[in-house]
């Protein structure tokens, strides 16, 4: 487990000297001829990662110096629903609040994003009226990663449009809060979002963000939610290091559990 974590960490650091370390062909033949010799770490970890189904995964690299200290991006979002508790508020109230918000920002084109994660499935959806887009990500991606990825893909769609005023709606408070905390621990997809937003702002785009409650009948949010749960287009995007660490840990734990259960099953017959 520690070896997998160390490998992912190496791959996530840009220009790390150990990233492309491999065993020369001549030495590889020597190790194959003498199976009692222990292979170097760079070769052992490749086998372990391949067995975990992660051999073809590209790891997202994090740039620690992407923003200078005097130009740290600032982020804020609108929450017109903050005074209402979802558990004790009728959906129609949220719908009316959203209609009031849209009336106030009627000059902004609405864009809805959502992410979905279930057993063996990760997908995100974007409702860019009247079009809907959906993408499937690697199963190791976390909920936060897929929610941020949906926002990033929405920005890509905005960049190709002709309007300049947009409001992105998401029901992921964790994604919005992640964007609010721009520091050295920033999520790598959040870094991509800030870089892309800086380019769009330089081109004259103005983009607002707004949180909306999920499953209260807000049409755009429901459309994005449905798209996120039915994505078929595979998007080969790099996976953040922390997501892979968690995925690998769960995989190793499941293997340990299988061996434990097998041991218990065998000893019960002795």
Domains of the chain: which residue ranges?
Answer: 1-61+245-256, 77-237
Cβ distance 191 to 152 under 8 Å? Answer: no
pLDDT at site 65: 65
Q: Residues with Cβ < 8 Å from 185, sequence gap 6 or more? A: none
Q: State percent of the chain over pLDDT 70.
A: 95
Which residue, 172, 195, 213, is CA-closest to 84? 213
What is the full DSSP assignment across 100-119? Answer: HHHHHTTTSEEEEEEEEEET
Q: State percent of the chain over pLDDT 90.
A: 50
Cβ distance 135 to 153 under 8 Å? Answer: yes
3.40.605.10, 3.30.420.10, 3.40.190.10, 3.90.700.10: CATH of 77-237: 3.30.420.10
Q: Show the beta-strand stretches assigned E in 3-145.
A: 109-118, 121-128, 131-136
Q: pTM for this one?
A: 0.85
Q: Six-digit token pair at 140?
A: 């190791």
Which pLDDT tens digit goes with each residue over 174-221?
999 999 987 767 899 999 999 999 999 999 999 999 999 999 999 999
Interatomic CA distance for residues 64 and 191, integer angstroms: 10
Flag whether pLDDT at 11 surpasses 80. no
Strand partners, 113: 126, 170
Strand partners, 31: none
Interatomic CA distance for residues 177 and 171, integer angstroms: 12
Which pLDDT tens digit goes with each residue over 50-109?
777 777 788 888 776 677 777 777 889 999 999 999 889 999 999 999 999 999 999 999
Q: Six-digit token pair at 257?
A: 């559990």
Cβ distance 59 to 241 under 8 Å? Answer: yes
């Amino acid at each position: 487990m520690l070896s997998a974590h160390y490998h992912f960490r190496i791959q996530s650091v840009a220009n790390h000297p150990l990233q492309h370390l491999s065993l020369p062909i001549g030495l590889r033949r020597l190790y194959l001829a003498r199976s009692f010799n222990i292979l170097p770490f760079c070769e052992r970890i490749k086998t372990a990662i391949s067995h975990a189904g992660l051999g073809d995964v590209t790891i997202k690299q994090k740039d620690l110096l992407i923003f200078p200290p005097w130009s740290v991006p600032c982020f804020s979002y609108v929450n017109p629903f903050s005074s209402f508790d979802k558990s004790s508020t009728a959906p129609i109230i949220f719908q009316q609040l959203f209609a009031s918000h849209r009336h106030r920002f009627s000059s902004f084109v609405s864009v809805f994003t959502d992410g979905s994660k279930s057993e063996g499935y990760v997908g995100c959806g974007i409702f860019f009226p009247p079009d809907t887009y959906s993408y499937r990500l690697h199963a190791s991606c976390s909920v936060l990663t897929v929610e941020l990825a949906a926002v990033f893909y929405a920005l890509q769609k905005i960049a190709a449009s002709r309007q300049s005023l947009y409001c992105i709606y998401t029901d992921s408070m964790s994604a919005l809060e992640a964007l609010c905390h721009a520091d050295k621990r920033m999520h790598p997809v959040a870094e991509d979002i800030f870089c892309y937003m800086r380019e769009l702002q330089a081109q004259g785009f103005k983009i607002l963000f707004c949180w909306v409650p999920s499953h209260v009948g807000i049409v755009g949010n429901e459309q994005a939610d449905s798209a996120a749960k039915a994505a078929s287009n595979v998007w080969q995007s790099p996976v953040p290091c922390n997501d892979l660490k968690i995925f690998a840990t769960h995989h190793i734990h499941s293997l340990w559990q299988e061996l434990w259960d097998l041991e218990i099953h065998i000893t019960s017959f002795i």
